[in-house]
Amino acid sequence: MMPDCPVCQHRATTELLVLQNVPVHSVRLATSAEAANAIPTGEIQLLACEHCNMAWNGAFDPKLVHYDGNYEETQAYSPRFQVFQQQFAAQLVKTFQLEGKTVLEIGCGKGEFLEALLDAGAAQVIGFDPSFDPTRARSDARMTVYAELYPPSRNVELTLPGIDFYVCKMTLEHVFQPRAFLTQLRTAIGNHDCLVAIQVPALERILSTTAYWDIYYEHCNYFSADALAKLFAVCGFAVIESETIFDDQYLNVVARPVDVEQDKSPCTPLPFAAFKHKLHTELAAWRERLQPAGTRQTLLIWGAASKAVALLSALPELKTGTTLVDINPHKHGTYLPATELVIHDPQQLRDRRFEVILVANPIYLDEVTTMLRKLGIQGEIIALN
Ligand SMILES: [Zn+2]
Answer positive or negative: Cα dihedral of 227, 228, 231, 236: negative
Judge whether 358 lies within some domain. yes
How far does the centroid of ligand 1 lie from the alpha carbon of residue 145, in Å?
34
Residue 279 sits in a domain whose CATH number is 3.40.50.720
Q: 257, 281, 304 — which closes off a domain?
A: 257
CA–CA separation, 143 and 140 (whole Å): 6
How far does the centroid of ligand 1 lie from the alpha carbon of residue 55, in Å?
8
User: For position 385, what pLDDT does the model report?
Assistant: 79
Its domain, for residue 19, covers 14-62
Residue 16 to residues 96, 127, 308, Cα–Cα distance (Å):
38, 35, 21
Q: Please indicate, yes or no, whether residues 23 and 83 belong to a single structural domain of this protein.
A: no
How far does the centroid of ligand 1 lie from the alpha carbon of residue 13, in Å?
9
How far does the centroid of ligand 1 lie from the alpha carbon of residue 4, in Å?
8
Judge whether 152 lies within some domain. yes
How far does the centroid of ligand 1 lie from the alpha carbon of residue 97, in Å?
34
User: For position 80, what pLDDT does the model report?
Assistant: 86
User: For position 161, what pLDDT does the model report?
Assistant: 59
User: For position 160, what pLDDT does the model report?
Assistant: 56
Q: b/e per residue, 20-44, with b = 16+ CB within 10 A?
A: eebbbbbbbbbeeeeebeebbbbbb
Block means of pLDDT (10 residues each) for the chain, 385 residues, are 89 93 85 90 96 97 85 78 93 97 95 97 95 90 92 63 91 96 92 95 97 93 97 95 94 94 81 95 95 96 93 92 94 93 97 97 94 97 92
How far does the centroid of ligand 1 lie from the alpha carbon of residue 67, in Å?
27
User: For position 158, what pLDDT does the model report?
Assistant: 55
How far does the centroid of ligand 1 lie from the alpha carbon of residue 349, in Å?
47
Round the CA-based radius of gyration of the chain to a whole number and report it: 21
The domain tally of the chain equals: 3
How far does the centroid of ligand 1 lie from the alpha carbon of residue 271, in Å?
15
Nearest to 174 by CA among 114, 237, 109: 109
Q: 227, 257, 287 — which closes off a domain?
A: 257
User: For position 266, what pLDDT does the model report?
Assistant: 82
User: For position 7, what pLDDT does the model report?
Assistant: 96
How far does the centroid of ligand 1 lie from the alpha carbon of residue 109, in Å?
29
Q: Please indicate, yes or no, whether residues 198 and 251 belong to a single structural domain of this protein.
A: yes
User: For position 72, what pLDDT does the model report?
Assistant: 72
Q: b/e per residue, 64-100, with b = 16+ CB within 10 A?
A: ebebeebbbbbbbebebbeebbbebbeebbeebebee
Nearest to 355 by CA among 321, 385, 315, 305: 321
Judge whether 92 lies within some domain. yes
Nearest to 163 by CA among 116, 130, 127: 127
CA–CA separation, 45 and 344 (whole Å): 33
Q: Please indicate, yes or no, whether residues 102 and 188 belong to a single structural domain of this protein.
A: yes
Q: Please indicate, yes or no, whether residues 53 and 122 belong to a single structural domain of this protein.
A: no
Q: Please indicate, yes or no, whether residues 253 and 277 belong to a single structural domain of this protein.
A: no
User: For position 321, what pLDDT does the model report?
Assistant: 87
User: For position 157, what pLDDT does the model report?
Assistant: 55
Q: Please indicate, yes or no, whether residues 291 and 169 belong to a single structural domain of this protein.
A: no
How far does the centroid of ligand 1 lie from the alpha carbon of residue 5, in Å?
5
User: For position 312, what pLDDT does the model report?
Assistant: 92
Q: Please indicate, yes or no, whether residues 39 and 121 belong to a single structural domain of this protein.
A: no
User: For position 329, what pLDDT does the model report?
Assistant: 94
Kindly state the helix (H) or strand (E) to which residue 312 belongs, with its residue range. helix 306-314
How far does the centroid of ligand 1 lie from the alpha carbon of residue 137, in Å?
39
For residues 250 and 202, the answer to whether their CB atoms sit within 8 Å is yes
Q: Please indicate, yes or no, whether residues 231 and 122 belong to a single structural domain of this protein.
A: yes
Q: Please indicate, yes or no, whether residues 153 and 223 belong to a single structural domain of this protein.
A: yes
User: For position 173, what pLDDT does the model report?
Assistant: 97
DSSP 168-200: EES-GGG-SSHHHHHHHHHHHHTT---EEEEEE
Q: Please indicate, yes or no, whether residues 336 and 307 belong to a single structural domain of this protein.
A: yes
CA–CA separation, 183 and 141 (whole Å): 31
Contacts 24+ apart (CB under 8 A), 264-269: 264/52, 264/226, 264/229, 264/230, 264/233, 267/50, 267/51, 267/52, 267/53, 267/224, 267/226, 268/53, 268/226, 269/50
Q: Please indicate, yes or no, whether residues 248 and 102 belong to a single structural domain of this protein.
A: yes
How far does the centroid of ligand 1 lie from the alpha carbon of residue 42, in Å?
24
Judge whether 164 lies within some domain. yes
Q: b/e per residue, 290-320, with b = 16+ CB within 10 A?
A: beebbeeebbbbbbbbbbbbbbbbbbeebbe
How far does the centroid of ligand 1 lie from the alpha carbon of residue 12, in Å?
7
User: For position 30, what pLDDT does the model report?
Assistant: 87
Residue 156 sits in a domain whose CATH number is 3.40.50.150
pTM of the model: 0.93
Count CB neighbours of 190 within 10 A: 10
100-112 tens-digit pLDDT = 999 999 999 999 9
CA–CA separation, 61 and 129 (whole Å): 20
How far does the centroid of ligand 1 lie from the alpha carbon of residue 178, in Å?
12
